[in-house]
Chain A
């Protein structure tokens, strides 16, 4: 049977999550997310060849290899992009660490000409270095944040109405927890990310909604049966959770496997994909944890409290009856009988 967190354990988990979220918020506030290759500032060495498309593949490769070696002998080459023009020219863009100056560019051009690669001439080749500074735009972030907030409210309202109020509260807390913890961990571990991170956050929110619906949907069904009516809250929640655990774990494992494979492929073809896969994987793990441990424990706590309050209200209040009797006797005039 699944185990639920004790009250202390639950508060500890929530406190840790809160600390992670606050730490992440500070990091994002002060230094922002770690930008990936599409968003970060960088320095490039660009070799533009006006006759690039007229060369055969061997010449193109020779030019690329030569430039890479020459640049690599002085600077670290971090990335490479081939920009192909519409008039047959192309730019071989090398992203480097350091700041190559005009003298380096001139020496590289001389070296290319001296190499005497077939068809590559000094008239057709230009070498320049550039410093690129990204202009971040935040409109999409706050718009996505507003959308996520509205989704969380809808999620709470729907689950509270169709399921139970306590389940609605637990689902809401789990959804907010999942998205914020994923973003915070991405910021804390400095996982490089671009604009697609907003998409991953939306993915995390929807995943959290799905898995919590599975857990609480099963509970809603189970709690209607006679078998569960005589159990304590914790026992009932834990047993019902056991019934939905397989499906939630299965869903999470399938998603995790696909994401891990994408991440591994990313490590081979382009590291941005790996970084995004890590963020998505965090999202899957956090959602699985919150739906199987945090949200049910939270719901059990809420239900215990609400049941206790209900039981308290349902108790027959003897003391108030005695008071009523006393006050009734006091009002009755002496000698009067009913």
Chain B
């Protein structure tokens, strides 16, 4: 590579890296009001351990919170002796831990068997619905025996948290219906499963796969819907509703213009994010299991947000730790390998910035503590393979080869292991991503990205930078921190 070309490339690469570094790590600052500049790191989705989340309490019918009870008492005191006097709450409710149980769910002093059975199935259903969402981490807890507390990571930028909590509280079975009373039961006899697919510009679509019997029943129902609609009005379009109990899963219904005789239907238009579509698909899948259908309505309590479970500012502090570790690595590599170290620093920055770009911009990546370990491991692997190549170059140089020959030979020697290790790591993380759930799955996704970037940066980018820098110095051997022992000819 010529000196001029090398200078131009060095300037260009430096400008690109500095620009990327700026948009990646600069703290948020206000630009033209009311807008703020937000760095790529600040838009990375975090798990509840690093970014906090949301919490809600589900109250089954017949159970109220202490706040609600005190409200009723206050209302009773206020209306006492007036025409609108209400019954005394102390006679209607019995305290149980931090909640109050209505007399209607009690049989004497005991809880009625019917309530217990209904609550147990509601509890199981809520657990299975949240498990189906595959959060990085979440918890479903039983509070005071008869209420359910759910904690989930912060998903507010991807879907409405209140819609999510409300949807997962729906009781009853699945039904496809319209205003004219045509119906099809959404049972496992008619529906195989529900899933989410991308639908181009309109965001995401829910796909509902029918069984053979379900396809016939759905065809018959939609045919009847369209016919009855054209009989009653000039329009041949009917509105179909997908309901769980009394609640519509798809807001405003779905327009049906013709008889639909197909294996699957796609519902799109209302889902701009995968997560919002997933919530509906999860609900449909959950009620296909007859054991997960419950009848007692659940009331959703107030939704609260909470801080990171690993401690306040956990993500920021960890980012600082990783930053300091990177600085230390840069110093060590520059001191130990000089010019090669410089190429490594540029290669590493390319790798790190590309990884930040991927993590912040690719939908569905959530960083939790396991994800952070994956980032650290993948960065360490990238550094280790660069140093491995440098060591091979040094060894080759020490055998008496010229610098150019030593570089070629050193890289050739490290090629096989570098490719093998990256293939194995990629396959391993791919398998974990495809099979595992929760923290391990998200961790594997991050590691998979890191492995691909590490392979590219180790095999090509760092080497390219090395040649780019090597065109500049006069004493290339000293630039690489090598020493050639002069042997005197006799």
Contacts and interface: CB of A to CB of B under 8 A. Distances in A.
B489 interface: no
A133 B437 contact: no
Main secondary structure of the interface of B (DSSP, over half): helix
B377 A255 contact: yes
A128 to B, nearest CB: 4
A210 B376 CA distance: 13
Interface residues of A, number: 86
Main secondary structure of the interface of A (DSSP, over half): helix
A269 interface: yes
B47 to A, nearest CB: 8
B66 interface: yes
A286 interface: no
Contacts of A265: 317-318, 321
Interface stretch (A2-10, A80-88, A308-316, A330-338): A80-88
Residue with the highest number of chain A CB atoms closer than 10 Å, among B303, B310, B444:
B310
Contacts of B20: none
Interface residues of B, number: 85
Contacts of A147: 431-432, 434-436, 440, 444
Contacts of A158: 420, 423-424, 427
B49 A196 contact: yes
A17 B374 CA distance: 26
Given A128-B66, A130-B143, A147-B436, A196 B312 contact: no
B329 interface: yes
Contacts of A268: 311
A139 B310 contact: no
B368 A137 contact: no
Interface in A228-276: 247, 250-251, 254-255, 257-259, 261-262, 265-266, 268-270, 272-273, 276
A123 interface: yes
A206 B318 contact: no
Contacts of B55: 83
Of all A-B residue pairs in the complex, the 6 with the closest CB atoms, nearest first, are A199-B370, A270-B311, A269-B311, A83-B304, A217-B417, A128-B98
Interface of A: 37-39, 41, 46, 48, 50, 81-87, 89-91, 102, 105, 123, 126-135, 137, 139-140, 143-144, 146-148, 150-151, 154-155, 158-159, 162-163, 194-203, 205-207, 209-210, 213-214, 217-218, 220-221, 247, 250-251, 254-255, 257-259, 261-262, 265-266, 268-270, 272-273, 276, 280
18 contacts: A46-B98, A48-B66, A84-B304, A85-B302, A123-B74, A129-B98, A140-B437, A144-B432, A144-B435, A147-B434, A151-B428, A196-B369, A202-B436, A202-B443, A258-B321, A269-B311, A270-B308, A272-B311
